[in-house]
Amino acid sequence: MSANLPDSLGPVDRAAYAIFASQAQKRRHDRDRRAFRGTNLTIGFDLFIARLYAVATSAAIFLSGTISFVFLVLPDVVVSRLWHQSVDFATRFMPDGVNIEAISVLILTSELRIIAALGSGAIIAAGMYTAVLYAGGRYLQWRITARRTDIDRTLPSAVRYLNVLASGSDTRHEMLRRVADTDAYGQTAVSIRKILNTATMTGNIDEGLRRVARDTPAQDTLAPFLLKFREHADQGADALRNYLALESRMLRYQQDSDRRRAEGFLELLAELFVVLLVLPTLVVIVLSVMSILTPSLAVPIETPIGKTTPRALITYASAGFILTVGLGVAGLVSALRPTDQQVTYARPSSLGEMTRTAFTNPASAAVIFLITGALGIAFSIQFTVNVLSALLVGYICYAIPVGLIAVRRARVDDAKDHELKDFVHAISGHVELGQPFPDAVEEVAKDVDLGPLDSDVADLAANLRLTTPHAGIDTNLRTAALDRFVTRVGTPLAEQTVGLVTGALDAGSDTGVVFETLQAEIGRLYHDKQTLRSGMMVYVAVGWTTALLVVGITVATATQVFAGFERLATMSDISGVAVGEAAINITRDQFRLYVTTQATMLAAGWFAGVASRGRYEALLHSGMLVSICHVIFAGTGVI
């Protein structure tokens, strides 16, 4: 088998393949093999399985050896203590007739301790081995789900592009090539590239369509489209044009339905988020009050990290739970946002370029402003601020500048998208009057005020002059000019719309049809963007309202309720209510409330920011809420 491996594989891969590749042929991996076809991984299934088994075996051996070694080298007192704690837990589930103490004496003797160590290591190794293999299978399923979701979101736009290309003289192979070369179509473009690669190897594009339709994870959307595309293409150009026009309308309707379902799910998610955010805070407040009247909540207990109290444990666990909920819900909101409405910023490769673009590119700012965050932490510690407050100050010094730069860039992009819509309408008007495309762009650049888009349009007009009819239209230069324009504008709307013009004109499509379709497309996309923006503002308000509500509740509790119990403790002899003064520590209790509240600020800010525009704005919202919370707590004397 190893003889068939690529020469680029290293010695580790070759060794893993030689030892474990035969595992891929076993029936237990039939399901994984079927799933692997839809993942688009660039390695073979045999090599994937070999790597998976190599990782599982290595992890099992390492963990088994570590556990056995630790079990053998630990002092007898420590081993005995750990063992008896485990026995106390296991006794609850053992039958009454089992003599646990006798078993303990045998295992803890020096003769049997080695056997116990090796046995424990073997059990743990088996568990680790099984867990890694299971995780490998789940990884394939996750890849399939991610690809299916991306295909479902990008297929409608790709079909509309094919519909425009169908009015030209391109063959179906050339039409598919133009879609495959457009990154805006995500996994749909990747699937079409697989079709073309298969067609190159087999010499038959129908075979490529059939194979990808069989293996794609999007069996309800892409698979039937590819089969029907092949069928109608065989019937002729008119049949294919009619089918693509009908399919583009059907997919647009389905896409609108999916968005409405996503909006409904988002409403439910927001309601659940509010409950999960407020409930832990209320639990901490109730425990803070109950521990004063219930001394058992303040009794120290032993934990793996040292002595603590049930109340402290629940308080800090609640803070961790809130942060986990915040990250999870922010991730879900980001996943629910349509792919064509997600903006990504490319980070420059060099440090000098990142520094130069730090105030215009959020991706660069996210790296450069780590310095301000570190300085904030250093200065805070210098002024004897506690570690938590120092970390929060560092977070504020980092998050707010990055978030402000992201908001400024987003507003510039919004202005460009608004002017881009007007630019397309102006170009369409000139083209409908019979002007060539380069002349129409030059005319619009001179006569129309496009605000932030002026310099980009002027650059496009200058580059298109090289393609004038006097010298003969150079399609390569025209394509390069339009690609440069899309890069300069830098928004998803520009990529989805102007990119459509590039391919359609190169395909020889009718210019009037191209710009008529483009006007409808850019109008729809811009309307979808504005609608999404307006709808998401509701969830921004939900995040901020929830955060400020929690601040109000915790501050009121810290200033009024705790102070009341403190007065009650000092007057317990007179009032007759037995409240131990040791159970009340205002400073400690207020700080714990502060910890929980700041965790809520971070979670609510992440949710609000991601709902607004994305992860960079999440930094701004969370940083502002953390600042507001600190100012309120400090202003009221709570901290």
Helix (H) or strand (E) holding 339: none
**Dihedral sign from CA coordinates of 110, 111, 116, 117:** positive
Dihedral in degrees, nearest 10, Cα atoms 618, 619, 620, 623: 120
> Has residue 270 been placed in a domain?
no
Digit-coded pLDDT (tens) for 461-491: 888 876 544 444 555 677 778 878 888 888 8
Same domain membership, residue 477 and residue 546: no
Helix (H) or strand (E) holding 331: helix 310-336
Same domain membership, residue 73 and residue 128: yes
SS3 for 191-256, per residue?
A: HHHHHHHHHHHHCCHHHHHHHHHHHCCCCCCHHHHHHHHHHHHHHCHHHHHHHHHHHHHHHHHHHH
Q: In percent, how much of the chain has pLDDT > 70?
A: 78
Nearest to 482 by CA among 507, 456, 508: 456
Same domain membership, residue 134 and residue 9: yes
Query: Rounded distance, CA 284 to CA 316, Å?
Result: 9
CA separation, residue 8 to residues 13, 156, 340 (Å): 10, 38, 36
Q: In percent, how much of the chain has pLDDT > 90?
A: 8
Q: Which long-range contacts (CB under 8 A, 24 or more apart) does 15-23 make?
A: 15/54, 16/47, 16/50, 16/51, 16/53, 16/54, 17/46, 17/47, 17/50, 19/50, 19/53, 19/54, 20/49, 20/50, 20/53, 20/54, 20/57, 21/46, 21/47, 21/49, 21/50, 23/49, 23/50, 23/53
Same domain membership, residue 127 and residue 55: yes
End position of a domain, from candidates 465, 495, 524:
524
Instruction: Provide the domain count of the chain.
Output: 4
> Has residue 375 been placed in a domain?
no
At residue 508, does pLDDT exceed 70? no
Query: Rounded distance, CA 393 to CA 366, Å?
Result: 16
Same domain membership, residue 520 and residue 548: no
Helix (H) or strand (E) holding 185: none
Is pTM, for the whole model, over 0.75?
Answer: no
More confident residue, 293 or 400: 400
> Has residue 389 been placed in a domain?
no
Domain that holds residue 489: 414-524
pLDDT the model gives residue 401: 94
pLDDT the model gives residue 77: 59
Question: Could you tell me if 71 and 79 are in contact, meaning their C-beta atoms sit under 8 angstroms apart?
Answer: yes
> Has residue 268 been placed in a domain?
no
> Has residue 199 been placed in a domain?
yes
Mean pLDDT taken over the chain: 78
Digit-coded pLDDT (tens) for 401-450: 999 999 999 898 888 888 888 888 888 788 777 777 788 888 888 888 88
Helix (H, G, I), strand (E, B) or coil at 160: helix
CA separation, residue 302 to residues 287, 299, 348 (Å): 19, 10, 50
pLDDT the model gives residue 170: 67
End position of a domain, from candidates 120, 146, 172:
146
Digit-coded pLDDT (tens) for 540-559: 888 899 889 888 888 888 77
Same domain membership, residue 591 and residue 468: no
End position of a domain, from candidates 229, 257, 285:
257
Same domain membership, residue 188 and residue 289: no
Same domain membership, residue 405 and residue 537: yes
Q: How many CB atoms lie within 10 A of CB 528?
A: 17
pLDDT the model gives residue 19: 80
Place of tokens 């919370």: 629
Same domain membership, residue 475 and residue 422: yes
Q: How far is CA 172 from the centre of its chain?
A: 35
pLDDT the model gives residue 395: 93
pLDDT the model gives residue 441: 84
pLDDT the model gives residue 402: 93
Q: What is the DSSP letter of 466?
A: G
Digit-coded pLDDT (tens) for 232-249: 888 888 888 888 888 888
Lowest mean pLDDT of 53-57, 136-140, 478-482, name the range: 478-482
Q: Quick one: tokens of 375? A: 């300085």
Same domain membership, residue 519 and residue 419: yes
> Has residue 267 been placed in a domain?
no
Query: Rounded distance, CA 512 to CA 48, Å?
Result: 50
Q: Quick one: tokens of 169? A: 């003289």
Strands (E), 258-372: 301-303, 306-308
Same domain membership, residue 324 and residue 295: yes
Burial of 88 per CB tally in 10 Å (0-12, 13-18, 19+):
exposed
Same domain membership, residue 547 and residue 406: yes
> Has residue 372 been placed in a domain?
no
pLDDT the model gives residue 277: 80
Digit-coded pLDDT (tens) for 610-637: 888 888 999 999 999 999 998 998 888 7
Task: Calculate mean pLDDT across residues 219-237.
Answer: 87
At residue 167, does pLDDT exceed 60? yes
> Has residue 318 been placed in a domain?
yes
Helix (H, G, I), strand (E, B) or coil at 527: helix
Digit-coded pLDDT (tens) for 24-51: 777 877 788 878 877 777 777 888 888 8
pLDDT the model gives residue 584: 63
